[in-house]
Amino acid sequence: MRGRTFGVVVIGMVLAGVLFTRLGANQYYYFAAYVILQYVVLATAWNILGGYTGYVNFGTAAFFALGAYTSVVLIKGFAAPLPVLLAAGAAVAGLLGLGIGYLTLRLRGVFFSIATLALAVVLQTMVINWDYVGGARGISVVRPGRLPFFGSYVEFLFAVMLLLAIFAIAVAWWIETSRIGRGLAAIRDNEEAAECMGVPTLRLKLIATTVSGSLMGVAGAPFPYYVTFVEPSSAFNLDYAVNSLAMPMIGGTTTWVGPVIGAILLGTTQQVATVTISSALNLLIVGIILVAFVILAPDGILGLVQRLKGGARA
Amino acid sequence: MTADGFLEVENVTKRFGGFQALSSVSLHVRQGERFGLIGPNGSGKTTLINCISGTLRNDAGRIVFEGHDLTAVPAHRRTRLGIARSFQIPKPFASMTVRDNLTIPLEYAARAHGVDATEQARAILRLMGLEAKAHAAAATLTQIEMRKLELGRAMAAKPKLLVADEAMAGLSSAEVDDILDILFQLNARGITIIMIEHIMRAVMRFCERIAVLDAGEKIAEGGPEAILANAAVERAYLGQ
């Protein structure tokens, strides 16, 4: 049943994506769709640690920016191609995730969250003071030339992000339906009991932080080509941390579908609001929707649907 | 007393800051035995079993289980070696169903998978009298059901040694008998049981041998009658 839903969503996404690139629509749509898909990756990645394992990460921006700045270094120093950028972004952010994983030995609950927030501040300060990647001024990145099959480079980036989103969802689905996912849920419910029931809690938490961090990094890797001008305040934007947390909360945190629903709904709302009202309103909208959900539907849209269906969990 | 090397606790010491929770406690538990651990509140019973199960590390001394020195072995590996415990305050996996609570130790400790795990979970639920609740959320259970789930989950880890930390606290007299029945059945299957309990009626009926802790020290050890007749035990419980 779950497997079928997963298959339908993936096939739907591929078809919609192909159709979209064949349409030759206004370039703005590709820009907007890229951002929404990027949030599908970030929200899905956040949920592997926050939703499945119960460790709330406020440092999404750090992992995302680490992916982006790894790309900046590789583009500037080695003119590396995009596949290399993606692999490198995933690897470097994955390593940071592994490091964060060891923090869970000593820090739980809100203290872990504060540490991840601090991590973002520390990394941003380091980047601001690193001239090679442009420091506080930022750095321009020149996109490679035109590509076959795609009308523009943004269309190509859109296709790349679509594949990344499908990849991220597949990873989350695999974790969720495997023994690892059940072990993570046990950790979320009660870490001490999980350990005493034979669950290797440290190893599973390290897997969760590494996979989560690595997916966030891979989402940031194409960012320099997308914006063509990278500066710390945009790469480390608070939006990433807030959105990647709010989207799973709104969609529902216990399954892979939740973050996808949340990212598409909230991401689309933000894009529409940016064009029709003002871009400054984005976070306000997120805030209001999040407060409404926490009060009215604490288990997100999926929880709400379950409850309306008659509630198998009543 | 002859030690058979099943569980040897040798001079285990545990401090929390300046507080000495356990001072050089030694115990030998034989295979298949029903062993009781009693003592006033704060005497170090739970600290000792935390050291045995691995959620705390002892500062000095060592614990040997079937020839394995457990000093550097993390808790989840001890469970796989055959030491399972229940918690004084039940700690169910609240977001899961009762059956899924058993699936975790079945998969991770007993290495049972798929249909096999489902079958074993059903057998344990039947033994515990929780069959009807298999698909209920663990968070919705009553106190006695929660206690049974706690024991059932420990059983799902396929233990050789089961440590029941106050499995009967807060239960009615009939419910205590219920849990005792279950524990006797488990023991009859060859599982060694360490019972930590305040309900003396249960301890005296169940245990073959009892150790008494007071202020982190073992003050007595012996059969139920010997313990009841022991002057030091009386002092510890009732004062001078």
Kindly provide the ipTM of the predicted complex, given to two decimals. Answer: 0.88
Residue A294 has pLDDT above 90, yes or no: no
Which among B114, B99, B44, B108 is positioned nearest to B76, based on CA atoms? B108
Residue A143 resides in a domain: yes
Residue A313 has pLDDT above 60, yes or no: no
pLDDT score of B240: 60
* Cβ neighbours of residue A80 closer than 8 Å, sequence gap 6 or more: A74, A88
**B124-133: pLDDT as tens digits:** 999 888 889 8
Q: Where does residue B105 rank: exposed (0-12), middle (13-18), buried (19+ CB within 10 A)? A: buried
- Tell me yes or no: is domain B82-207 CATH 3.40.50.2300: no
B139 touches chain A (CB under 8 A): no
* Residue B134, Ramachandran bin (φ over 0: left; ψ between -120 and 50: alpha; else beta): alpha
Residue A312 has pLDDT above 60, yes or no: no
A313 contacts on B by Cβ (under 8 Å) = 137
pLDDT score of B111: 82
Q: Taking the model in full, what pTM does it have? A: 0.88
Inter-residue contact B107 to A182 (CB < 8 Å) = yes
Which among A71, A73, A42, A63 is positioned nearest to A124, based on CA atoms? A63
Residue A99 resides in a domain: yes
The domain total for chain A is 1
Extract the residue ranges of chain B whose pLDDT is less than 50: 1
Q: Domain range for residue A64?
A: 2-237
Residue A278 resides in a domain: no
Nearest CB partner across the interface for B95, out of A189, A193, A196: A189
Q: Mean pLDDT throughout A229-255?
A: 90
Which among A264, A265, A249 is positioned nearest to A302, based on CA atoms? A249
Query: Residue A314: pLDDT band by 50, 70, 90 thresholds?
Result: very low
B102 touches chain A (CB under 8 A): no
Cα–Cα distances in Å, from A235 out to A97, A122, A223, B52? 18, 14, 8, 49
Residue A274 resides in a domain: no
Nearest CB partner across the interface for A197, out of B74, B104, B137: B104
Q: A198–B79: do the CB atoms touch at under 8 Å?
A: yes
Which two tokens mark A233? Answer: 């305040």
Name the B residues in 58-77 with CB < 8 Å from any A CB. Answer: 74-76
Q: What percent of chain A has pLDDT over 90?
A: 54
Q: B75–A185: do the CB atoms touch at under 8 Å?
A: no
Residue A176 resides in a domain: yes
Query: Residue A136: pLDDT band by 50, 70, 90 thresholds?
Result: confident
B95 touches chain A (CB under 8 A): yes
Nearest CB partner across the interface for B108, out of A190, A192, A198: A198
Which among B22, B19, B82 is positioned nearest to B47, based on CA atoms? B22
